[in-house]
Amino acid sequence: MAEQGVGRALCVAVNLEDFPRVLALAKRDPRLRASVGVHPEYRDAKEPDVATLVGLADEPAIVAIGETGLDYYRSPAAELDWQRERFRVHIRAAREVAKPLIVHTRSSAADTVRILDEEGAQAVGGVMHCFTEDWATARAAIELGFCISFSGIVTFRNAAALREVARQVPDDALLVETDSPYLAPVPYRGRTNEPAYVRHVAECLAEVRGNSLEHIAAVTTANFERLFGS
C-alpha cells in the first residue's frame, strides 16, 4: 500500500462469525479501519439485530456499518423479504451509532434506494460500494448523501457504460476501492486483488475524468476522511 501511495484501507466485515478477526486486523495498524455487518448474500450467517450491531460498533477502529444492502442476482425479489429486513436493521443501527453505511446492491437498485430513503439513511450517509449501476441510481444515492465507489471493474474493457457514470460523479462523492480479494483491475485482472492495486483504479478515473492522478488521490482521500472520520 505505502509503496503505491495508498494511505488508508477499510477492512469490510461480511458476517458476525469472522468479525473478531476483522477487528483484530484493523487494530494492528493505524492505517487500517473496519466495519461491522452481515452481507446480504450470507443467508445462513448469524442474523444481526440492532443492539448487536450497535454494541460491536462501539470500537474506535469500527468506522462504518456493513457490508449491507440487497442482492437479487441469484433469487427472485419475492423470496427475499429477509434481505430487506436485514438491510433495515443495519440502517437503524447506523443511525443509532451515527456511523456511515457500506451498501451493496446487485439487480436490486430500485429497492436499495427506496429502503435507504424510507429508513432515513441520509442522516448518516455512506458509500455505494463496488458500484456497477447506471447514472440514475448513482444520482439518487448522491442525493441521499452517499459516495459512489469504483472498483477494478471500471478498468475492464467491457465497462464503457460504467466509465461514463464515473465521469459524471462529482468530486465530493467519489471513492475508489479494491473489493479484495476479487475484481483486480487491469493489468492484474484474474489475480488476487490487494489494496496496492487501487492505484490502477484511480489512474483509470483520472483518464476518464480528464484529471491528474494527484487530483483523484486528493479528492478520494478527502472523501474517505470526511466519511469515515480517519
Q: In this predicted model, what pLDDT tens digit does every residue of 154-198 receive, in sequence order?
A: 999 999 999 999 999 999 999 999 999 999 999 999 999 999 999
* Structural class in CATH, domain 1-114: alpha beta
Structural contact between residues 44 and 86, judged by C-beta atoms closer than 8 angstroms: no
What pLDDT is stored for residue 122 in this prediction? 98
d(CA 56, CA 37): 9
Task: Note whether 1-114 and 125-230 share their fold.
Answer: yes
Domain 125-230 grouped into CATH 3.30.200.20? no
What is the per-residue DSSP string for 71-135?
A: E-SSS-GGG-HHHHHHHHHHHHHHHHHT--EEEEEES-HHHHHHHHHHTTGGGT-EEETT--S-H
Burial class (CB in 10 A: 0-12, 13-18, 19+), 82: exposed
- Structure-block grid coordinates of residue 226: 470526511
Q: How many separate helices (H) and strands (E) can be counted in the chain? A: 8, 7
Question: What is the pTM assigned to this prediction?
Answer: 0.96
Look up cell 469515515; give the residue: 228
Of the candidates 10, 14, 94, which has an alpha carbon nearest to the alpha carbon of residue 50?
A: 94
What pLDDT is stored for residue 149 in this prediction? 98
Letter for the amino acid at 81? D
What pLDDT is stored for residue 78 in this prediction? 82
What pLDDT is stored for residue 152 in this prediction? 98
Q: What is the pLDDT along the chain (230 residues), one digit of tens a residue?
A: 999 999 999 999 999 999 999 999 999 999 999 999 999 999 999 999 999 999 999 999 999 999 999 999 988 888 899 999 999 999 999 999 999 999 999 999 999 999 999 999 999 999 999 999 999 999 999 999 999 999 999 999 999 999 999 999 999 999 999 999 999 999 999 999 999 999 999 999 999 999 999 999 999 999 999 999 96
Each domain of the chain, given as residue ranges in start order, spans 1-114, 125-230
- Structure-block grid coordinates of residue 15: 458476517
What pLDDT is stored for residue 126 in this prediction? 98
DSSP state of 197: G
